[in-house]
Structure 1
Amino acid sequence: MKKLSFFIILVLVAFTSKAQEHFRPPAYPLITVDPYFSIWSFNDTLNDASTVHWTGKENSLQGIIRVDGQSYYFLGKPITSYKTVLPLVEKTGQWKYTFSKPDNNWDQLHFNDASWKQGAGAFSTDNDAPNKWMTHDIWVRRTFRLNNMDFNDLMLNLHHDDNVAVYINGVLAYKADGWNNSPELFKISDAAKAALKEGENVLAIHCENTAGGAYLDAGLVDEIKPEMNIAKATQTSVSISATQTFYHFTCGGVELQLTFTDPLLANDLDIFSRPADYVTFKIHSADGKAHQVQLYFSAAGNIAVNTPDQQVQWQRSKAGNMNVMRVGTVSQNILGRKGDNVRIDWGYLYMAIPQSKETSTLITSSEKSVKDFVDNGKLASNDDKDIPRAAEDNPVTLAAVYDLGKISSTPVSHHIILAYNQIDCIEYFHQKLKPWWARKGMGVDQMLTGAERDYSSVVKKCNQFDNTLYHQTLAAGGEEYAKMCELAYRQAFAACKLAAGPEGNPLLFTKECFSNGDISTVDVIFPSCPITLVYNPVLLKALLDPIFYYCESGRWTKPNAPHDLGTFPIANGRKNEETMPIEETGNMLIMAAAITRAEGNASFAKKHWKVLSTWADYLLKYGMDPGDQLCTDDFAGPSAHNANLSIKAILGIASYGSMADMLGEKSLTKEYTDTAREMAKQWIMMDEDGNHFKLAFDKPGTWSQKYNLVWDKVLQLHIFPKTVAQKAIANYLTKQNEYGLPLDSRKTYTKADWIMWTATLADNEKDFRALIAPEYKYIGETPSRVPISDWYETTNAKQVGFQARSVVGGFFMKTLDKNWNGH
């Protein structure tokens, strides 16, 4: 039986590999648990660069295989180590500064700044800022001494908000428009490096605050050159399934299969929420000879910090039959940091390794553990005692080595568990919520031993699920569609966090990744929802329940639905939020109707009937011809008479009618359904423009994707005549660019999720595939090597904004339509 199971797994892996042939994802998911524990490879070859967080910051995993004494990198690269030359000022260092434009030579070393102000700390508009900065411009100076000029690669460590120009001894070192929200390293111009000298130097900066908050701090660091030069294993293939990423390598006469398994099994919330992923190594001889083999794997402390200058500490323990190592920040400011381009700096990263005679573990600097392994094929016996220290200072890693002895043609397999315990994961109306897996008091040791106990069964379930998803999406939309869905699956769920609500119910929170960091944004949940409706509608209820609570608790008092609940991971509501009244109200009604359709009863609607009724009446009053306001495509700015937004309002009203029907409220059903149909007739009269439909009722000669119309088809509401979708699709087929259908006639950019919804409107397979083929080409050819960006240019496939967002769950709209309606 075991041999048969192993054969099935190999077949499934081979099948997936074949399906992935010639498909190049823009980024490869490795560890995808939630918005914080999310590690990717932004390269086609796994050992060409360091692994990174979805934001692009280094989250280092390293893998080295040693064959007959020769070492080969197969995962990541040496962790970059830095020496601080000039530390960030932060709260204590000194700046000289002025808010008035100085003389032209203000950036020179010998400029007389005696009249300038002096203060300790970075500059910011924050209430607790060490140095308050409330003007448009600021000029700052800081002198420093260099005792030698022996640098490998001197870099600028800079946190700026907004536009900045940096000078060293009067020479421009770096200039940029825009902002960042944490310190980043930037290259210094060669001319500025040449201007440095032994003795006294000056760092001078001009920064402009063009809008919003402001921040400025800067220092210098030197990148330390790695001491060792290690060869690379040859990567022979990489493939992706819904929950797994597979790599194959050859090196020194052996073959290595490396598998990252992310058990995001939506129909089992205990496994789905468990913050533990598996890394599996399978090795065999490829040339018929026996080879002496050792294998090294490590995870770095920079996975547990927001910025690499944060102090980390580490320790080891036992959990069942496993050796367990962990690392985390000293500060442990739980839920203390919110925002978009941020990483977690509370809780602990864990690496758990089943005990065996072949295995050894060590917590020490990356440089030391790698050198020990390369030189001797093993690790030193004692953990590093230089604790705590900054994550970037002689970077610490959790390392494991397997001494596999002689490897023949019979495969040898081992696995490691990587996990992250956030302790508390969401602040929900001023209550700290536990992750779903910890709702009954389960501790991290139990979680890890459970993950180890379930390893074989979970991997089997993942293989089975991956096979099911592939064939399901293949049947719905064809090969290219299936490949895009496989890639989208983990990204969609890894942009969310599943928590235990105050009443013990599951609550799922989205993060707007690289889109301002909002939590539980209704117009992000809306495009994401098809994946939940296909694989577990409980997750859609878990997404909507926080919004309903916000409204039904009296915290939100407007007659329209709210936009979001705050900034991830803080969901306390907002005083002054972005409003999209028609957008969010229509979204909530449509999604509530989708839940009743999925469950086959109206219990969810009944529970929230009062607020649903308020929203339906709001759309009756304001939805037919929307006033000047934002919709979900807010990057395009507000607009009036938006035809697609009007469709959403009409279908929101019809959705209310369909829920009333399931509740047995026949008079309401007739009233709202008939009204929606009359509005649809009016809509056609107002928006028809020859052979197409307009972007806005008052703008002839324009057009836009009417992606909201898809819900009329999927929910079988029968509000608009089929000829509306047919005419729209016929027009869209003439408007496509090389990489997709533009969002509308104003610009050439588009949204990947909306293309999928628009394509699902097609009433035949040929047109559906014609509409998604350019998007498939975009994903495979984009030069923007990041987790799928849903906002991109159709002319050159470049990212415009957004990445790693849950909205790619909208790719499953075609599958949802197929499941529900057989289309």
Structure 2
Amino acid sequence: MFARPLVLALLLVFMNLNDGHSQSLIGAASAALNPPATPLITVDPYTSIWSFGDQLNDQPTRHWTGRPHALNGLLRVDGTVFRFMGNPTFVGDTVMRAAQPRQVGASYTPYEAKFRTDSPGSDQWMQPRFDDSQWATGQAPFGSRPGDKTAWTTNDIWVRREVVLDRVPQGRLLVNAIYNDNYELFINGQRVAGASGVSPNYELTSTGRQATDLLKPGRNVIAFHSQNFGGQQFVDLGLLQERSMDLRAATQTGKQLSATRSQYTFEAGGVGLTVTFMAPLLMDNLDVLSRPVQYITYTTQSLDGQEHQVEIYQDASSDIAVDNPGQPVTWRRGRVAGKQPLNWLRVGTAEQKILGKKGDNVRIDWGHLYIAAPGQTGTSHRIGTMAGSVNQFEREGLVSDIRAGGRPNMITDSTVVLATSFNLGRVADKPVERHLLVGYDDLKAIEYVGQPLNAWWRRYDRQNSTIGSELVMEKALSAAESDYVTLKKTCTAFDRSLYTDALKAGGTTYADLCVLAYRQAIAAHKLVAGPPMAGPNGQPLFFSKENFSNGSIGTVDVTYPSAPLFLKYNPTLLKGMLEPIFHYSESGRWTKPFAAHDVGTYPIANGQTYGEDMPVEECGNMLILTAALAHVEGNANYARQHWSALTTWVTYLKQHGFDPTNQLCTDDFAGHIARNANLSVKAIMGIASYGYLAGKLGDATTETEYLRLARYLAKQWMTLAKDPTGTHYTLTFDNPGTWSQKYNLIWDKLLKLNIFPEEVAQQEVAFYLTKQQPFGLPLDSRRTYTKSDWIVWTATLANKQEDFESLIKPILRFATESPDRVPLNDWHETTNGHKVGFQARSVVGGYFIKMLEK
């Protein structure tokens, strides 16, 4: 959002630049692939910018949480300006107020609404004509926290609120909400928005819908349903108007996605423009993978046979470097000399409280955003209003030089924009190319056991001063510029290789799913250099963040589903995910006889913060994944290093794993369950994995003992879990008529352990094919929602390719048709394609499991 925006503009005039041709992504992705949101800049959980929806110029670009992280692009053709990226917006009038305090420290300003905490008993509860006369009346906010006006202590709450409007605003609607854990919003009976995770502070989220499409003069009914899966309950929301600047849009003519690139094409004023976002997340080069610099490339050419005068304007908002709009920021500019000189601008918060906050729905507010481009002397900077800069670009195709009145640093309480303009001159049939570097220096990335750690690319950095840190980032920018041409070729080759391999493994639908998952899965992690105890410069530690599922860091049952991607492309990264859990136990800080759930709340990894253990789940996960590492590496050297911990955990599984007590598993949103048949499979496979590892280490006696035990337990399992119909195996032991996806069986197939007879998995697959819904296979018989990562695992159990494809096709349909156009979520409703929860999580790395089979 732009509230009284100021602009820090960089005019880059480029001379003697080589023409270049944009790379087509054909052959690296299906042309029909239409992601719910498109990754643009994907470095880590903090530097993560997406285009929500289908059009790059339809709305502001956003952080994966939905907060605007604006990248705005304008194309000037023969003096006429067209918007091709983003849509600068600002907050307009309140349409329906929330109970939000009017100022910090003030009390809530409640409003009345009808509510109930038991089921309405009708799927029409959100409709304007629904009879809510028997519902209770209460004041917002609803919740269990001190200060909440109406008590809500159950899992669910349904709220209906009437609002009378004299007139309907003309802009789009913004939702202003707090919630734990999610909400679903309806306006006059239409589902308008949904959010998941926890937001203790009021957050603005765009609905993408015009107010005039949803509201009317007179009576309106705003209804919402909120759920709570743990912690304190609370929910409240209001509506505001979102206004945008009146900038003409270029016509988007195409969009393509490959593993490392997103590409858009536009037409405007007789000129074609191709914009390519390249994220060189290449797992065979950890320095490049970790380097927090990515690229935007612009290629223009005439489409009508005429020459056109063309200029490009690109800006990046300081909102990318703050958690909440309005935080004071400082700016600075500089230049990197050398054979390939760069002009750069940076912006960051004035406070710079490094590693000063943790949580889920939060964004980084330390370190600095950098924008850089190849340049020469004469680069100029200015500060002014965004409108003034855009207006000047409309008039002149550039941003003025105000060096005479500028200062090297400036503190402001308004939004700052780093802007770059390119004068491409007269453009004809021959394509003309320019590019920009977008980077973020977080200074310190993770706190681990009380010690701040550097990102992997900074592992040799011992600088603590501001100037010293700036020099380190300048080197990174310079290296990224030097690598640009080579990385374009490398990314092209990798994208084609990944797509070809996935196509051979599972077909076109499967290849598209792998393309969708690749950048998201990697960028939900942070690669850091471990402390000195792990080696001279530290070993690589790869910390995941639970995006919109509670914000935990290094969660074992998030590592488990995401592991196939890293087993496929670089097992070192999987070791970097497992190592903190091993060290947590081996250091004596975690003293329980089973594996921990996590090591903290991102980015603070000082010890488990999740409120409840998952004993069987996490022990099984750690044992299975360690065996999977041995399988792909051909040795058990890594297991040897951690044999004591593995022995402790397998001992727990021998005693408690086969018939689990009432406890959580990785599908904790579904609640506690005892005698969980799928969790029992995991325990059995964990025991088998220990035997497999012992064999790899040359201990034939232990290998025989544990594999024999696992096969014995598998036979017992078949008896207890068999449904009386003989068609499938049940959700829980001795519970006829129930069923669940037995996705944990996949490791018997991949590790070739032969613990369960093959017909168990094939019988399950045949049964699952009878339970499909339009948007996928439900997780189990309790509800119709599902987890898409588990569906791919379940589908990989199939021996017939047609069965595999039948099970995964609804996942791609969900991604393409879901009304929730946000970064891919892995928990959705199979009947209507709506998002249930989670967003932008690493677990979609699990889609790559079919490639492990081949």
Q: Given that residues 325 and 350 in structure 1 are in contact (C-alpha distance below 8 angstroms), is that contact kept between their aligned partners in structure 2?
A: yes
Q: Given that residues 90 and 217 in structure 1 are in contact (C-alpha distance below 8 angstroms), is that contact kept between their aligned partners in structure 2?
A: no
Match of 2:37 in 1: 27
Aligned equivalents of 2:238, 2:773: Cα separation in 1: 45
Deviation at 1:212, TM superposition (A): 4.2
Aligned equivalents of 1:210, 1:552: Cα separation in 2: 32
Aligned equivalents of 2:641, 2:320: Cα separation in 1: 42
Q: Which amino acid aligns with 1:290?
A: E
Q: Given that residues 336 and 342 in structure 2 are in contact (C-alpha distance below 8 angstroms), is that contact kept between their aligned partners in structure 1?
A: yes
Q: Which amino acid aligns with 2:303?
A: A
- Tell me, yes or no, if structure 1 residue 478 matches structure 2 residue 501: no
- Tell me, yes or no, if structure 1 residue 568 matches structure 2 residue 602: yes
Equivalent residue for 1:299, pick from 296, 316, 323: 316
- SS at 2:329 equivalent: strand
Match of 1:327 in 2: 347
Residues 263 and 358 from structure 1, CA distance in 2 versus in 1: closer, same or farther, beyond 3 angstroms? farther
- SS at 2:49 equivalent: strand
Aligned equivalents of 2:320, 2:366: Cα separation in 1: 11
Aligned equivalents of 2:748, 2:237: Cα separation in 1: 54
Q: Given that residues 756 and 772 in structure 1 are in contact (C-alpha distance below 8 angstroms), is that contact kept between their aligned partners in structure 2?
A: yes
Equivalent residues in 2 for 1:491-570, closer than 5 Å = 491-503=520-532, 504-570=538-604
Equivalent residue for 1:40, pick from 39, 47, 50: 50
Identify unmatched segments of 5+ residues in structure 2: 1-18, 111-140, 153-166, 183-192, 219-225, 462-468, 533-537
Q: Which amino acid aligns with 1:184?
A: E
Aligned equivalents of 1:362, 1:25: Cα separation in 2: 37
Match of 1:422 in 2: 442
Equivalent residue for 1:54, pick from 58, 61, 64: 64
Match of 2:75 in 1: 65
Match of 1:278 in 2: 295
- Per-residue CA deviation, residues 298-334 of structure 1 (Å, 9 max, x unaligned), is 1001111111121122111112311110111111111
Q: Given that residues 89 and 217 in structure 1 are in contact (C-alpha distance below 8 angstroms), is that contact kept between their aligned partners in structure 2?
A: no
Q: Which amino acid aligns with 1:694?
A: T
- Tell me, yes or no, if structure 1 residue 367 matches structure 2 residue 387: yes
Residues 247 and 473 from structure 1, CA distance in 2 versus in 1: closer, same or farther, beyond 3 angstroms? same
- SS at 2:319 equivalent: helix
Q: Given that residues 250 and 267 in structure 2 are in contact (C-alpha distance below 8 angstroms), is that contact kept between their aligned partners in structure 1?
A: yes
Match of 2:846 in 1: 810
- SS at 1:593 equivalent: helix
Match of 1:389 in 2: 412
Residues 224 and 792 from structure 1, CA distance in 2 versus in 1: closer, same or farther, beyond 3 angstroms? closer
Q: Given that residues 739 and 777 in structure 1 are in contact (C-alpha distance below 8 angstroms), is that contact kept between their aligned partners in structure 2?
A: yes
Aligned equivalents of 1:795, 1:474: Cα separation in 2: 28
Q: Given that residues 752 and 790 in structure 1 are in contact (C-alpha distance below 8 angstroms), is that contact kept between their aligned partners in structure 2?
A: yes
Q: Which amino acid aligns with 1:479?
A: T
Equivalent residue for 1:725, pick from 757, 761, 776: 761
- Tell me, yes or no, if structure 1 residue 755 matches structure 2 residue 791: yes
Deviation at 1:811, TM superposition (A): 0.1
Residues 382 and 493 from structure 1, CA distance in 2 versus in 1: closer, same or farther, beyond 3 angstroms? same
Aligned equivalents of 1:47, 1:568: Cα separation in 2: 32
Equivalent residue for 2:202, pick from 169, 176, 183: 183
Deviation at 1:218, TM superposition (A): 11
Deviation at 1:470, TM superposition (A): 0.4
- SS at 2:312 equivalent: strand
Residues 795 and 616 from structure 1, CA distance in 2 versus in 1: closer, same or farther, beyond 3 angstroms? same
Aligned equivalents of 1:757, 1:456: Cα separation in 2: 37
Q: TM-score, normalised by structure 1?
A: 0.84
Q: Which amino acid aligns with 1:681?
A: K
- Tell me, yes or no, if structure 1 residue 308 matches structure 2 residue 325: yes
- Per-residue CA deviation, residues 757-781 of structure 1 (Å, 9 max, x unaligned), is 0000001211111111111211111
Match of 1:250 in 2: 267
Q: Which amino acid aligns with 1:328?
A: G
Q: Given that residues 358 and 404 in structure 1 are in contact (C-alpha distance below 8 angstroms), is that contact kept between their aligned partners in structure 2?
A: no
Aligned equivalents of 1:510, 1:404: Cα separation in 2: 42
Aligned equivalents of 1:362, 1:123: Cα separation in 2: 47
Deviates more, 1:77-86 or 1:779-788: 77-86
Match of 2:743 in 1: 707
Compare relative contact order (CA 8 Å, sep 6+) and give the higher one, 1 or 2.
2
Aligned equivalents of 2:102, 2:530: Cα separation in 1: 37
Q: TM-score, normalised by structure 2?
A: 0.81
Aligned equivalents of 2:229, 2:640: Cα separation in 1: 48
- Tell me, yes or no, if structure 1 residue 13 matches structure 2 residue 36: no
Equivalent residue for 2:673, pick from 632, 635, 639: 639
Aligned equivalents of 2:230, 2:503: Cα separation in 1: 47
Equivalent residue for 1:653, pick from 675, 684, 687: 687
Equivalent residues in 2 for 1:408-487, closer than 5 Å = 408-441=428-461, 443-487=472-516
Q: Which amino acid aligns with 1:15?
A: G
Q: Which amino acid aligns with 1:494?
A: A
Equivalent residue for 1:768, pick from 804, 808, 820: 804
Residues 698 and 133 from structure 1, CA distance in 2 versus in 1: closer, same or farther, beyond 3 angstroms? same
Deviates more, 1:53-62 or 1:433-442: 433-442
Deviation at 1:577, TM superposition (A): 3.3
Equivalent residues in 2 for 1:163-202, closer than 5 Å = 180-185=199-204
- SS at 1:13 equivalent: coil
Deviation at 1:574, TM superposition (A): 2.9
Deviation at 1:716, TM superposition (A): 1.0
Aligned equivalents of 1:221, 1:494: Cα separation in 2: 32
Q: Which amino acid aligns with 2:638?
A: F
- Tell me, yes or no, if structure 1 residue 289 matches structure 2 residue 327: no
Aligned equivalents of 2:143, 2:756: Cα separation in 1: 53
- What's the % identity of the aligned pairs? 49
Q: Which amino acid aligns with 1:14?
A: I
Aligned equivalents of 2:737, 2:232: Cα separation in 1: 40
- SS at 1:279 equivalent: strand
Match of 2:722 in 1: 688
Identify unmatched segments of 5+ residues in structure 1: 99-121, 127-131, 139-148, 165-174, 196-206, 819-823
Aligned equivalents of 2:230, 2:636: Cα separation in 1: 47
Q: Given that residues 179 and 236 in structure 2 are in contact (C-alpha distance below 8 angstroms), is that contact kept between their aligned partners in structure 1?
A: no
Aligned equivalents of 1:241, 1:701: Cα separation in 2: 43
Aligned equivalents of 1:804, 1:220: Cα separation in 2: 25
Q: Given that residues 363 and 399 in structure 1 are in contact (C-alpha distance below 8 angstroms), is that contact kept between their aligned partners in structure 2?
A: no
Q: Given that residues 363 and 398 in structure 1 are in contact (C-alpha distance below 8 angstroms), is that contact kept between their aligned partners in structure 2?
A: no
Q: Given that residues 247 and 258 in structure 1 are in contact (C-alpha distance below 8 angstroms), is that contact kept between their aligned partners in structure 2?
A: yes
Deviation at 1:598, TM superposition (A): 1.5
Q: Given that residues 60 and 79 in structure 1 are in contact (C-alpha distance below 8 angstroms), is that contact kept between their aligned partners in structure 2?
A: no
Q: Given that residues 370 and 438 in structure 2 are in contact (C-alpha distance below 8 angstroms), is that contact kept between their aligned partners in structure 1?
A: yes
Q: Given that residues 602 and 663 in structure 1 are in contact (C-alpha distance below 8 angstroms), is that contact kept between their aligned partners in structure 2?
A: yes
Q: Given that residues 380 and 402 in structure 2 are in contact (C-alpha distance below 8 angstroms), is that contact kept between their aligned partners in structure 1?
A: no
Residues 524 and 154 from structure 1, CA distance in 2 versus in 1: closer, same or farther, beyond 3 angstroms? closer
- SS at 1:181 equivalent: strand
Equivalent residue for 1:78, pick from 88, 98, 109: 88
Deviation at 1:154, TM superposition (A): 12
Q: Given that residues 25 and 257 in structure 2 are in contact (C-alpha distance below 8 angstroms), is that contact kept between their aligned partners in structure 1?
A: no
Aligned equivalents of 2:788, 2:824: Cα separation in 1: 9
Q: Given that residues 66 and 205 in structure 2 are in contact (C-alpha distance below 8 angstroms), is that contact kept between their aligned partners in structure 1?
A: no
Match of 1:169 in 2: none
Q: Which amino acid aligns with 2:51?
A: S
Q: Given that residues 629 and 639 in structure 1 are in contact (C-alpha distance below 8 angstroms), is that contact kept between their aligned partners in structure 2?
A: yes
Q: Given that residues 89 and 242 in structure 2 are in contact (C-alpha distance below 8 angstroms), is that contact kept between their aligned partners in structure 1?
A: no
Q: Given that residues 582 and 623 in structure 1 are in contact (C-alpha distance below 8 angstroms), is that contact kept between their aligned partners in structure 2?
A: yes
